[in-house]
């Protein structure tokens, strides 16, 4: 059991997972449970591990539908993943040694005009056809379930299986499970070389070299550069996003709240802080591509937050940070790769945190030679040629 950056890397290990975010750590846990020897390497500076906002998304996010209309078929295809992903969070939550503040209290996507309401109603109908549990609420229904919403909100789409989680607690609890099973977690370790040979994979890192029988790329937005090392470029987009958190107050926002037409996502953690995001951009600065917040996003996101939930205006902003969302083509990249035996990908589609444990489960099953609970054949990296 070690995560000490100063200890030497093992020279040779069965499985190396590159990326210690929620996907990589869950996968290490699931593999180690079955007796695998696993090392997790993490660059450890600004990966998703440290920047998750903790929303559990199920309904299609209007933000992605607006941004990438060409990906809507992909979103629709992967829609069944989301309710199942929340189910996986429920499953692992009961196995963890600490309460991770998992609260499946529903998500609201609000509308401020007839047009927005109609957009949501159409989206709601389509999602129901695809098997999702969603409903439309008018203003009077909203006043009963969400009295905290501002006066301009005319209605909302409710998805009762959406929710929230405390990512700080969840990440640590999952990590403890993995470490207890002997997983080596090596932070501040960046992979600089990755070569497939007869013996397996030769991996060069900033902390030395390591040989591995199998390699899993679970590095989110870093996956593009890593797969390029193996001659398999992949169109991975790093989307640096702005996040805000307020001081704590008494619980008053039950749901995760999004907007039909505006960039806003907000939720209140169990400890009382309100986390506010919604896809406002941050920038990658300097040679380390450090995600850095912008004043435009800060003002824009907070202004919307207090417009949708007026009492947020009275709270103090405590911190902002920039996380990196990974976007490929609206669909996950999971499973093995033709022509490179021993290589696996574990990259969720959009809303990577929600999909983390499910993605890890699907990849673990594929690596263990078990039939995955959902077909992943459509999501192989082979689609990128």
- Residue 368: which residues within 8 A CB-CB, separation 6 or more? 31, 34
Nearest distance from C-beta of residue 382 to another protein, angstroms:
36
Residue owning tokens 């490179």: 340
Nearest distance from C-beta of residue 297 to another protein, angstroms:
9
Binding to another protein (CB under 8 A) within 170-209 occurs at 171-172, 179, 185, 187-188
Stretch of 85-93, 166-174, 195-203, 374-382 lying at the interface with another protein (CB under 8 A): 166-174
Binding mask 116-135 for another protein (x = CB under 8 A): --------------------
150 near another protein (CB under 8 A)? yes
Tell me the site size for another protein, rule CB under 8 A.
Answer: 56
Among 317, 340, 368, 374, binds another protein (CB under 8 A): 317
Nearest to 27 by CA among 379, 311, 366: 366
Nearest distance from C-beta of residue 249 to another protein, angstroms:
5
Binding to another protein (CB under 8 A) within 285-304 occurs at 285, 290, 293-296, 298-300, 302-304
Binding to another protein (CB under 8 A) within 223-252 occurs at 246-250, 252
Cβ burial, residue 5 (10 Å; 0-12/13-18/19+): exposed
Alpha-carbon gap, residue 168 to 51, rounded angstroms: 9
**Residue 327 · residue 281 · CB < 8 Å:** no
311 near another protein (CB under 8 A)? yes
Strand partners, 274: 268
Q: For 173, phi and psi rounded to 5 degrees?
A: -65, -40
In this structure, what token pair is assigned to residue 129?
Answer: 């056809």
Alpha-carbon gap, residue 345 to 347, rounded angstroms: 6
Q: Cβ–Cβ contacts within 10 Å for residue 204, how many?
A: 15
In this structure, what token pair is assigned to residue 352?
Answer: 């990577």
Nearest distance from C-beta of residue 214 to another protein, angstroms:
24
In this structure, what token pair is assigned to residue 63?
Answer: 């933000």
**3-class DSSP state for residue 385?**
coil
Binding to another protein (CB under 8 A) within 318-377 occurs at 318-321
50 near another protein (CB under 8 A)? yes
Among 233, 313, 339, 341, binds another protein (CB under 8 A): 313
In the complex with another protein, the residue whose CB is nearer, 105 or 187, is 187
* Interface with another protein (CB under 8 A): 1-7, 44, 50, 150-151, 168, 171-172, 179, 185, 187-188, 246-250, 252, 262, 271-272, 285, 290, 293-296, 298-300, 302-321
């Amino acid at each position: 059991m070690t995560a000490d950056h100063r200890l030497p890397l093992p020279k040779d290990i069965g499985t190396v997972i590159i990326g210690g975010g929620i996907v990589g750590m869950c996968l290490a846990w699931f593999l180690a449970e079955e007796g695998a020897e696993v090392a997790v390497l993490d660059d450890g500076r600004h990966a998703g591990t440290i920047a998750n906002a903790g929303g559990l998304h199920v309904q299609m996010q209007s933000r992605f539908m607006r941004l990438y209309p060409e990906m809507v078929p992909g979103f629709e295809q992967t829609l069944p993943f989301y309710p199942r992903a929340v189910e996986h969070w429920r499953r692992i939550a009961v196995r963890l040694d600490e309460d991770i503040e998992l609260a499946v209290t529903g998500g609201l996507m609000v509308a401020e005009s007839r047009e927005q309401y109609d957009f949501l109603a159409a989206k709601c109908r389509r999602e129901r056809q695809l098997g999702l549990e969603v409903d439309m609420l008018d203003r009077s229904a909203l006043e009963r379930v969400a009295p905290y919403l501002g006066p301009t909100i005319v209605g909302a789409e409710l998805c009762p299986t959406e929710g929230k989680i405390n990512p700080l607690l969840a990440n640590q609890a999952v990590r403890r499970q993995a470490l207890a099973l002997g997983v080596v977690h090596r932070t501040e370790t960046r992979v600089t070389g990755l070569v497939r040979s007869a013996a397996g994979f030769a991996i060069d890192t900033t902390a030395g070299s390591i040989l591995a029988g199998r390699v899993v790329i679970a590095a989110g937005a870093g996956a593009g550069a890593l797969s390029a090392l193996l001659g398999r470029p992949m169109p991975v987009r790093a989307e640096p996003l702005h996040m805000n958190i307020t001081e704590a107050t008494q619980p008053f926002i039950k749901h995760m709240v999004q907007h039909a037409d505006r960039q806003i996502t907000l939720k209140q953690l169990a400890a009382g802080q309100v986390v506010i995001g919604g896809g406002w951009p941050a920038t990658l600065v300097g040679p380390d591509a450090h995600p850095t917040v912008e004043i435009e996003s800060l003002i824009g996101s907070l202004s919307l937050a207090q417009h949708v939930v007026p009492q947020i205006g009275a709270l103090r902003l405590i911190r902002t940070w920039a996380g990196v969302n990974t976007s490929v083509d609206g669909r996950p990249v999971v499973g093995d790769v033709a022509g490179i035996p021993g290589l696996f990908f574990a990259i969720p589609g959009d809303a990577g945190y929600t999909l983390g444990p499910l993605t890890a489960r699907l990849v673990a099953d594929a690596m263990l030679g078990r039939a995955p609970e959902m077909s992943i054949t459509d999501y192989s990296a082979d689609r990128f040629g």
